[in-house]
Structure 1
């Protein structure tokens, strides 16, 4: 870490007086322990800050104080002189002094005193300023101390490497300097800092020129900040007006110029400057305003982008196009006057500037996914320092299709309800995510954050628990009316069928038969199966649990189906595939959570093929017929009481997808069931996904039917999490109850 040289006995690394002797108590501060040492440093810093504050006040008020004091002293001197003249007797007038007498005129005592006071004050002003600068060097954080915090930045890409759209409008983007066209760099330098490659960070010539112009205009007509100073303001300092901040800015500017090359500073500036409409950096602005990559912008567009820097919220294509054109013409004038473009280039660019219009991106997608992934991206460890490039799992073709299909089906049905969809690859990668009907109206992510009843989609867990306990699809169970402490489940059509096979009961989604079987298996066993499949939300162990009365996010239910489909437990959705530096260094592959094994998992996995048979029967000859595809598919419908929620979750090929429809206020929908609108949306989306040419290559996983057996227990993670972990059976001892399987 770079430090300033010690001056005047000050240790600039500690910010406290240096001494080789012991303190007053006879004990070295370092030997007293951290608390005393830290308190000494804190006291030293507090004292230094007080000195700096007083110095700053003195420098700011010095001129005014001198002026007011001078007027007061002169007035008092004049009063004393007049008084003494009145007292003097004509007979005792003093001998004449001055040129006539040959003796020098001696000023009165008050005038000599005033001169001494004013001289001392004027001499002290530079001392005050110098002291302020020295204290700023010592007390204010230097570039290295602030750099890690200011320069860390995450840039997101979709699964194909394109910039990911953030917040519905602004792409996450970062471009190396060599990808910017020369005319774009020249446009920025010409209008913002023409001597960028000549000065050392602070351009005295530009400051003087700006001061002169401002004096002539009677206002602020021009600024003198360099690109380096602007980058320091953007990246390191809070927007406040104070002497200490200006001193800090100057110090950091010089440090930045010594640390980085001009090219590095210019690259950081072009990727950090705010250009309005939520666009930070030239790459984002080029995409937002002209739907262009930075390397493809024209000369006129480059001049327009440079023109926005001065007042981005006011001068931009979407806010005031005419103001942008006028300032863009000034940029072209400056480029021509400085010899950066010739007359012909300038003329053609002016013609294009006169007809310049914004061209925003036609497609904005992945907004709910972007919000979800940015919340979790900061938890990645280890993450590359500086600017890191995060390759996400979002597949733009699937995402656009999901948003389009949902909107079309809801509009065709005349439904004002909300909808959510999440599509996972066999390794857990999120290929598409829709959190609502219109992101512009509501940013709430119903695929991740909404707690809603899953309805009969939870029956899959009930039947899986039964199969794991030894039931078989052909076993007969009772579908009859029952009363459990006042709870009486009723089938959708109000009829009871007596003895039916598990296969038929599941395909027809019979409520009474399901609750009867759940009571036989045991609600605790069903809850344990749900937990093993990765459902973390609270499960109320009442008979209604079997019919999906507990509230569970759509993504958790879809993950549970993913575990059954792939045979890997735990099955966790993830959204970031890899992380690396901008130049590709330090690439970190973020692999999915490995599968575990153990007695409970083994029992569940032994039953997954029978469970898949039941789920396929739902689509072939049950409540999910509208979800049918031209290839094998498995899934389950779900409808809660009074159609407050309607769902369809299932898989085919290498996609596991969940769809939910409902009202935010939990009011009933008019006749919407899981086998209707959700099944139709699911089917159309799956057709698109399965027909995409690269669908099987993005996630790097094969068809679900050929998914390999689950991996072994994650010993490293389990040992880290539980001191009582036993590698022989992958279990740990909780605070109470029997040993449990570690599913980390």
Structure 2
């Protein structure tokens, strides 16, 4: 019996063996694997790949995903400022010395030309290094993956992004050659300090063309894409140079440079030039507005980068800022100034005292009560309704539903011409003219002139400037009178192009739209010239023909002066941001002084011109036949002084015609109606307007305030 046979016999009998059918099992496993792979592929397709952009054509790739930057240039083409990213010119790989692209390959992907869109060897190496370190310390993204991320993806550190990055890198390598990918990478990568692309970085950090970079400079720039913000050469040059030294060592190991070249480059860090001042100074308010206007003109995303030609004159902008700061007065006050050329081009725009401390634009964004600077629109509406400059209105108390507007300083002048009432900014006359013309008609004219914030059906306080406007709106509305009744739209952007020079927008010349009678515009100009030569705006006198109007809102909260010459229209606002009252500041004081200081500079070197299209104001012949036109005290109606007294000190009284009275000016100076020389000193002749004083029924109606309507919000103590 063979050995161990017993033992075998004592074992229970084994079940009969069945033949294994191996191939069917392997087939089933293969099917399961294929189904799983298909399911995984569908899942990847659905959750990671679906929605990924297709690779556009080569021309589009240069701007795909590129953050927009804006270059601002002045009317003469000189660069004023840059905003947003700085994009350099396109750099061709063939034009660069070999050490420049090799530095980037040494830093980011030294086997770039040996692998596909994904470097499997690099993945395994990075996984091993990270495993040993216990944390992620090395990445394995290829240069193609980095470019795909830059062009199409957000910099999220997620598995989804890594998968999408790999798919897009594969698509890039199908569409472009390796050289084209490297060239595109060098032109699109971010280098910190707002510099995108090798040309912008070389110029920004070294003031050089990329073709002139030294080996050390090339290595230093190649160190930045890994962490452009942290390693920025203007923030942490030592850290960036430490990484650049590793890059130089790698280049030597790859035999791309000799050991001697490496030692020479490692000897000292390259010198980085000081960053350009980031402050835009007094140009900042104009740049804020111009950027918004340009984007509105060409649409968002119209071009990756824009070149915007402004209308602002840097010299006038500086003069405006200087005039404002030198004359503003007490600390805490703010001011704004806008100056327009006759075609509406904004030549200067200052929105405050210091943009760095407060970027709020008080020239464009602030809405404030214009006070008496609104009165020219009341007078203009009255002229449309047949009122003439030599018509006489009563400056005396008036009540409208309990509202009793008074003149600045109190007191009344009695019968006064419409022209003289504007020069003196008489509130009661403004209210009367608004009632004559119709308050709704005044509002309609103001909107026609460009004051879009005026409601269609305002209250009677509109006559005293109770409705808020912006400084730019107000100056533009005055331009209708400067331009003989034609309205032009103010503009800040003359042209917008992209970096290649393609014109995206160019403003077409415009003669303006007629919105007001030229003859009546001429009458308004002549009356407003008197505001400066003989009225409340004397501080604005610049020794050449100019027209304008002062304005002061309730409790001295806002002070304005807006005026124009044939060459410029300019407006000044002064006040507090929190609407606090100022101490005694009127439109005829600080704003008029600022206006004169700026306009003196703006007009320097320009020929003296008058408003030749505007006829002189001449009293009608019948004026001198009026029984009340003769002055009872002197043959020369111009003998009285500015204080309304004769040379011998006797006060001048108004002629004692039917119903006439003697009026006392504030501060105890007894005067009659103030008329410029040659205009006569009493009511208008009957053939022009109804004689004044008005009949008792009219006066009783006004004093009783019988007109319907709500109580105006304007205070009776409003100064003008």
Correspondent of 2:475 among 525, 533, 558: 558
Q: Which structure 1 segments of 5+ residues have no match?
A: 1-87, 98-102, 697-701, 709-744
Aligned pair partner of 1:665 in 557, 572, 578: 578
- Work out the CA distance in 2 between the residues paired with 1:223 and 1:244: 16
Structure 2 vs 1, CA of residues 516 and 281 (structure 1 numbering), >3 Å: closer, same or farther?
A: farther
Q: TM-score, normalised by structure 2?
A: 0.68
Q: Give the equivalent residue in structure 2 for 1:534.
A: 450
Deviation at 1:321, TM superposition (A): 4.8
C-alpha separation in 1, matches of 2:179 and 2:464: 63
Tell me, in whole angstroms, the C-alpha distance in 2 between the residues paired with 1:404 and 1:122: 79
Q: Could you give the per-residue CA deviations for residues 440-464 of structure 1, whole angstroms, max 9, x where no partner exists?
A: 3333222222211011111121122
Per-residue deviation, residues 670-712 of structure 1 (Å, max 9, x unmatched): 222222222233333334444599xx9xxxxx9996899xxxx
Q: Distance in 2 between matches of 1:463 and 1:602?
A: 13
1:396 to 304, 310, 314: 314
CA distance in 1, matches of 2:522, 2:546: 13
Q: Is the 8 A contact 2:145 2:165 kept in 1?
A: yes
Q: Distance in 2 between matches of 1:293 and 1:431?
A: 35
C-alpha displacement of 1:536? 0.9
Q: Secondary structure at the match of 2:430?
A: helix
For the residue of structure 2 that corresponds to 1:517, the secondary structure is helix
**2:141, 2:564 → 1: CA distance?**
59
**How big is the shift at 1:177?**
1.3
Q: Distance in 1 between matches of 2:177 and 2:610?
A: 52
| Larger deviation, residues 494-503 vs 361-370 | 361-370
Query: How many angstroms does 1:533 deviate by?
Result: 0.6
Map of 1:72 onto structure 2:
none
In the alignment, is residue 142 of structure 1 matched against residue 54 of structure 2?
Answer: yes
Distance change in 2, residues 1:559/1:527 (3 Å): same
Query: Which of these residues, 527, 530, 536, is aligned with residue 617 of structure 1?
Result: 530
Q: Deviations over 1:187-218 (max 9, x none)?
A: 65654455678877656666566556555655
Q: Is the 8 A contact 1:285 1:305 kept in 2?
A: yes
1:572 equivalent in structure 2? 489
Residue aligned with 2:461, SS: helix
**1:270-669 mapped onto 2 (5 Å cutoff):** 273-274=189-190, 306-317=222-233, 319-327=235-243, 339=256, 347=264, 351=268, 353=270, 357-361=274-278, 363-380=280-297, 385-387=302-304, 389-393=306-310, 394-410=312-328, 413-539=329-455, 541-567=458-484, 569-591=486-508, 595-597=512-514, 601-603=515-517, 605-652=518-565, 654-669=567-582
Partner-residue secondary structure (3-state), 1:433: strand
Report the Cα distance in structure 2 between the residues aligned to 1:705 and 1:332, rounded to whole angstroms.
Answer: 73
Aligned-residue Cα RMSD (Å) equals 4.9
Q: 1:569 to 1:486 in 2, by over 3 A?
A: same
Shift of 1:509: 2.0
* Structure ranking higher in helix proportion: 1
In 2, Cα distance between equivalents of 1:707 and 1:156: 41
**Cα distance per residue 1:464-483 (max 9 Å; x no partner):** 22233333334333222222
1:684 maps to which residue? 597
- Unmatched segments (≥5 aa) in structure 2: 1-6, 615-720
Q: Distance in 2 between matches of 1:257 and 1:689?
A: 60
Which aligned pairs between 1:153-172 and structure 2 lie closer than 5 A? 153=68, 155-159=70-74, 160-161=76-77, 165=81, 170=83
SS of the residue corresponding to residue 495 of structure 1 reads coil
Conservation of the 8 A alpha-carbon contact between 1:151 and 1:386: no
- The worse-fitting range, judged by mean Cα deviation, of 309-318 and 474-483 is 309-318
Shift of 1:255: 4.0
SS at match of 2:502: coil
Shift in Å at residue 489 of structure 1?
A: 1.8
Higher Rg? 2
Shift of 1:498: 1.8
* Structure 1 residue 319, shift from structure 2 partner: 4.2
Residues in 2 aligned to 1:331 and 1:401: alpha-carbon distance in whole angstroms: 51
Q: Which moved more, 1:553-562 or 1:346-355?
A: 346-355
Cα deviation 1:540-563 (Å, max 9, x = unaligned) = 622221111101122211211222
1:530 Cα deviation (Å)?
0.4
How far residue 416 of structure 1 moved from its aligned partner, in angstroms, is 0.3
2:141 is equivalent to residue 229 of structure 1: no
Report the 3-state secondary structure (helix = DSSP H, G, I; strand = E; otherwise coil) of the residue aligned with 1:512: helix
How many residue pairs get aligned? The number is 596
Partner Cα distance (1:641, 1:296) in 2: 66
Aligned residue for 1:457, secondary structure, equals helix
Q: Secondary structure at the match of 1:673?
A: coil
SS of aligned partner of 1:546: helix
Is this contact kept in 2: 1:177–1:267, CA < 8 A?
no
By relative contact order (CA 8 Å, sep 6+), the higher-ranking structure is 2
Q: Tell me the distance in 2 between the aligned counterparts of 1:91 and 1:285.
A: 89
Give 3-state SS (helix, strand or coil) of 1:485's partner: coil
Deviation at residue 285 of structure 1 after TM alignment? 7.0
In structure 2, the CA distance between the partners of 1:647 and 1:191, relative to structure 1 (3 Å rule), is farther
State TM-score, norm by structure 1: 0.66
Deviation at 1:583, TM superposition (A): 1.8
**1:348-404 CA-partner distances (Å, limit 9, x unpaired):** 896463676545346544333333333343433589944353423243343344344
* Residue pair 2:69, 2:84 contacting (<8 A) in 1 also: no
Distance 1:343 1:406 in 2: 62
Secondary structure at the aligned position of 2:431 is classed as: helix
**Among 92, 95, 100, the residue aligned to 2:11:** 92
Q: Deviations over 1:629-673 (max 9, x none)?
A: 354333222111111011222223543222212212211112222
